Structures are given as C-alpha cells and as structure tokens.
Amino acid sequence: MQGRVKTREKPGKRSASHPSNTGSGGAPTLSSLPYTMGELMVAAAAREIRDREVVFVGMRLPLIAFVVAKKTHAPEAIGLFENGVIRATPSAELIYTMADPPNIFQATQCLNMLGVMSLLQSGRVDLGFLGAAEVDRFGNLNSTEVSTEYRVPSTEKIERRVIRLPGSGGACDIASLANRFVVVLEHAKHRLPERVAYVTSPGNGDGAGWRTKVGLPRGGPSAVITTKCVLRFGEDGGAYLDSVHPGVAVEDVVGNTGWTLKVAASMKQTQEPNEAELKAIREYDKEGFWTT
C-alpha cells in the first residue's frame, strides 16, 4: 500500500499491546486496526447500497459489500444472485461460488436464471455490481477479448494476438437493465482505456443521451471503484475523479488512466472503513480470502 494506507497483517503478527491498537482500557479497538485495500474497497462498495434496495450481488468484493451493508446502514436490502438465489439475509458462512450450499440453505427464494433476469427486465433491480477486464471513460465494459503483442520464437517477429475472455454471462443484462451499476476492478492504465476494445456490457456508450437513443430504458454506470480511487459520472456521460484512496496521489490516478481524467472540484479522500464495517467484513471473511 502507498503512503499512509494501512495494511492488514495476518492474525498474531501485530501485538495487541501496541499503543495504536488499544483503547483507554488497553483492549484492541477495530477502528485502530490496520486494513487492506480490499477492505477499503468493500466499505466503499457497501456504501453504494441503499436500504430496501434490490441488488445483484455477484461474488468476490461485492459479496462482502452486501454483507457489510446489511449489517450497518441497509438492513432491508435484498441480494440477488445470477443462478436464481434471492437472499434477504447473507449466507451464514463465507461462500466461494454462488452455488455453494450455504448460499442455498435458508435462502429467501431459489428461482432459475430466467426468474431473476425477469426482475431486471421489469425494472425491479436497483443496483448491480460488475467486474471487467476493461472499463472506459463512458463506463462501457469489456470482458470478451483483449489484444496483446506476442514475440514469435521462431522468427522473433512481433505479432498482435487476440486473447479471448469469459464473456458477458449476465453482465450485459445487468448493465442494460438495472437502475444503475457499479464496477469494481484493479486500477491499471491498460484496464482503463479511453475506449474499450470490445463493448461487452454497455455503459453510457459515446456520451450523454446514448442509452436513450439506443432504447435502454434506465440505468447506466454510477461509480467505478478501483484500487486507487472512486470514479463517478457527470452529465456528459463521462467519468470524473470523485475521491482518491488514502495515501494515493491524484497524479498517480491521472497518470494511470488511459484518458485525460477530469478531477471534480469537490474531489476528496475516500472514507476509510469504520469499526462497524471492519467488524462485519472480518466476521464474515475471517481469513481474508476475498479481501487480502
């Protein structure tokens, strides 16, 4: 981690008697414990969920974000999974795929894929979390293919080859039909190009008004949460820098983004995870499987 961003060490590595780790009675406090970048991103993602919203959760960090939101500010949010599972409460233990038995056990409903996708089509999904190989300045996502230079061993010539990726899954449906979507990904210049190599899931197309023009009735990207910052979208449909994570310089973010990134006049530091958020994260993902 850069600057003053704190990193979470493995259990037992940090002494509980360290002054920065204790409260007035000498007991450790969660708010003084270090945290990982993954935990910071989870907390930021959790704050995108509003109470009583229906949320396409997905896996990895958004899964934990749903748990955090439920245990803090959004107790009545509902989680959807692409395989048809609907949960009013998070699974009792950590899951690694959406089909894991703990996610099925005591679920609110177990539909098929058509069942949950019909909720999207009828406009009843407020928020969806998505990942991608690339996201561009207008929030379009690519998870279909990327090209790379390859040196042919026999000739030493440089060729450009296409690498196929897993594809859309349900991401295109979520990006097209949810009331809004949030992207979570690593911040690297090649992953944030000015235009994606292939539009797997639509954001704002080529700018303001594009979604209406092509017949998408609602939604679009509302935020991109990266390992360096949070981007949001302006009236022109383009992304701007809303906040930088603790210890990250604005110049670092701008220099590692593939277009000339606008910086909001009100740009701020991303809020660090608080005690309640860290408690929810660590009680659910005890070993830091998804967050370290």
From 3-17, 65-79, 239-253, the region with the lowest mean pLDDT: 3-17
| pLDDT grade for 261, boundaries at 50, 70 and 90 | very high
Q: Where does residue 92 rank: exposed (0-12), middle (13-18), buried (19+ CB within 10 A)?
A: exposed
Per-residue pLDDT averaged across 203-227, rounded?
A: 95
Q: One-letter amino acid identity for 25? A: G
Residues 6+ away with beta carbon under 8 Å from 36 = 1, 7, 8, 288, 291, 292
| pLDDT grade for 20, boundaries at 50, 70 and 90 | very low
> Is pLDDT above 50 for 277?
yes
Per-residue pLDDT averaged across 42-55, rounded?
A: 98
> Is pLDDT above 90 for 76?
yes
Please tell me the predicted confidence (pLDDT) of residue 154: 81
Per-residue pLDDT averaged across 5-32, rounded?
A: 41
Per-residue pLDDT averaged across 48-64, rounded?
A: 95
Beta-strand pair 134-135/127-130:
unpaired
Q: Are 246 and 4 in contact (CB under 8 A)?
A: yes
From 1-10, 28-37, 194-203, the region with the lowest mean pLDDT: 1-10
d(CA 235, CA 129): 21
**Whole-structure pTM value:** 0.85
Q: Are 56 and 66 in contact (CB under 8 A)?
A: no
Per-residue pLDDT averaged across 270-289, rounded?
A: 94
> Is pLDDT above 70 for 33?
no
> Is pLDDT above 90 for 141?
yes
Please choose, from the candidates 129, 131, 133, the residue with its C-alpha nearest in 3D space to the C-alpha of residue 197. Answer: 133
Per-residue pLDDT averaged across 141-154, rounded?
A: 88
Q: Is the CATH number of domain 19-284 3.40.1080.10? A: yes
The percent of residues in the chain predicted with pLDDT above 70, rounded, is 89
Q: Are 39 and 61 in contact (CB under 8 A)?
A: no
User: What confidence tens digit (pLDDT) does each residue in 280-290 have?
Assistant: 999 999 999 99
Residue 62: other Cβ atoms inside 10 A: 28
Please tell me the predicted confidence (pLDDT) of residue 157: 85
d(CA 249, CA 229): 10
- Supply φ then ψ for residue 217, to 5 degrees: -75, -15
Just list the catalytic residues.
82
